[in-house]
Amino acid sequence: MKRPVYWLPPLLAVLLGAAGVLAFAPFGWFALGWLVIAGLFALLRGADSGRRGAWLGFAFGCGWFGVGTSWVFVSLSVFGGLPPAVAGVATALFCAVLALFPALACGAFARWRSGSFVAEAASFAALWVLCEWLRSWLFTGFPWLSLGYSQAPPSPLAGYAPVVGVYGLSLLAALLGAAIAEVLRRWFATPCAATRNRLFCSALPLLAIGVLLAVGDLLGDLRWSEPSGPPVKVALLQGNVPQDLKWRPEKLTDSLAIYEHLMREHPAMLTVLPETAIPTFLDQLPPQYLERLLSHALEQHGDLLFGVAVGDGERYANAAASIGVSPTQLYSKSHLVPFGEFVPPGFQWFLDMMRIPMSNFMPGPARQRPLEIGGQQVAVNICYEDVFGAEIIRALPQATLLVNLSNTAWFGDSLAQPQHLQIAQLRALETGRPMLRATNTGMTAVVGADGRVQAVLPPFTRDALVAEVQGYAGTTPYVRWGNAPVILGSLLLLVVFAGWRRRRVR
């Protein structure tokens, strides 16, 4: 009798996780997200203990995050100054920690699975979503590569986003994956050879697949917000200033000249510069330079929004400041990046090894009013703040536009830039608002209220994206309720499943 090959399922799980990254931008094979989850679901149904399930989930997570967030190595080694070996170990540890979350979901599922397809599909999807949500806030949160982001347009599931948000999309994608796995199991494992009987046996999961896709397609035709006010001409500037030169004092004049030139070459009512486009403190800017910027904005009867540090050198914030016909206003970034923007307790030694300038920002208030600029109510967010949908909706429904200022030069020519743009698509869908992105090296873009990218600049080019953008007003169900319905619904599914399983065991 042959002994079971215990190493094969974890290997398949790693490969499935790595392949799943193709479901996200820039590849966009959204259906592959369903298929890799189907493969993982099938592997878990063959696990005979919670421990084996956890190992399968951990292996899947290592493939998923090891490929999908490989750009962390670039930021640590190329721009952070760590030796490649140290950066490699740090990146591997980072991915291993992230892999613990799918391990938790899969271990719990394998431990308590019941044998009933409906109960197992529902509990698997609920556990998956709850662990994604846990990852979004534990230790300040890192919700990157949540399954739902792979379902941005043109996925038929995208229509659900204004109702249930990105975690609702994760739940539905996990349900689809489980249903696909069940169809394949019933089709090939049924004792009935006739195709007619196979179709009958597969009717329930096939019906679930059809209903989920059909409803999503119908929801995609609904519009939850409506145009508000006249369109505004915007110019999103992409300076393409190399990260290793940006913070050198002798290069400050060059950076200032780049953005002043782009601004004058591309006049608009609302001009947006990227995160820390002005690589110095606001009060240290040459007065004559600030006067020229203000003069240009006044000539356009508009406003200029630019990323700059504000503070006294001891306590400072990553901010966006506006000048122009509207009163001067300020937004301070509230959700900071660990290690990049603040030092977690006990990790100063790690920051001392890296060359990250201005890496100890103070967070701004959690709730800040939209900025009244360019004739719009603008909800500003900086860098990866737009990964947190529940935080973006704090400025709604007052805001008519979402504007993101980013500097992804830290991650080089990697998957980070297209993945970040895809995240912006979900924020636009959830809120029913356009999302404008002004970045240093890419991807500077205009995302419509329907979540589709309307225009984008090629990365690593110096240019401006000029467009007519319409503001929107209204309240989507997600803006009204946030993530609460999906999280509470997932918990309720687990409670119902636990009660059903207890009665069945008796």
Chain segment 454-498, per-residue pLDDT in tens: 999 999 999 999 999 999 999 999 999 999 999 999 999 998 887
Q: Tell me the average pLDDT of the chain.
A: 92
**Cα–Cα–Cα angle for 74, 351, 70, rounded to 5 degrees:** 20
SS3 per residue for 166-202: HHHHHHHHHHHHHHHHHHHHHHHHCCCCCHHHHHHHC
> Is residue 2 among the annotated active site residues?
no
pLDDT number for residue 128: 98
The 10s digit of each residue's pLDDT in 114-138 is 778 889 999 999 999 999 999 999 9
Q: What are phi and psi of 144, to 5 degrees?
A: -55, 145
pTM across the whole model: 0.94
- Spatial separation of the C-alpha atoms in residues 126 and 180, rounded to whole Å: 17
C-alpha 262/C-alpha 236 separation (Å) is 9
Catalytic hit among 62, 106, 131, 383: 383
Rg (CA), the chain: 24
Instruction: Respond yes or no: is residue 131 known to be catalytic.
Output: no
In the structure encoding, which two tokens stand for residue 104, read together? 């938790």
Share of the chain above pLDDT 90, in %: 77
Per-residue pLDDT at 348: 65
Average pLDDT, integer, range 413-421: 95
Q: Comparing C-alpha atoms, which of 495, 494, 501 is closest to residue 105?
A: 494
Question: Does the pLDDT at position 259 exceed 60?
Answer: yes
**What pLDDT shows up at residue 233?**
98
Query: What separation, in Å, do the N-terminal and C-terminal C-alpha atoms of the chain show?
Result: 35
Amino acid identity, residue 456? V
pLDDT of residue 82: 85
- Tell which residue, 468, 269, 276, 483, has the closest CA to residue 359: 276
Integer Cα distance of 53 and 44 in angstroms: 6
State the catalytic residue, choosing from 120, 275, 341, 430.
275
Query: pLDDT class for 192, splitting at 50, 70, 90?
Result: low
Tens of pLDDT along 432-456? 999 999 999 989 999 999 999 999 9
Per-residue pLDDT at 1 exceeds 50: no
Stronger pLDDT, 44 or 251, i.e. the higher one? 44
Q: Give domain limits for the chain.
A: 8-224+483-505, 226-473
Tokens at 132, concatenated: 């994604």
Lowest mean pLDDT among 31-35, 243-247, 283-287: 243-247
pLDDT more than 70, % of the chain? 92
User: What is 226-473's CATH number, 3.90.1150.10, 3.40.50.720, 3.30.1490.190, 3.60.110.10?
Assistant: 3.60.110.10
Which residues are paired to 447 by β-bridges? 435, 453
pLDDT score of 505 more than 60: no
Question: Band of the pLDDT at 207, cuts 50, 70, 90?
Answer: very high
**Cis peptide leading into residue 370 (ω within 30°):** no
Catalytic residue among 333, 341, 385, 430: 333
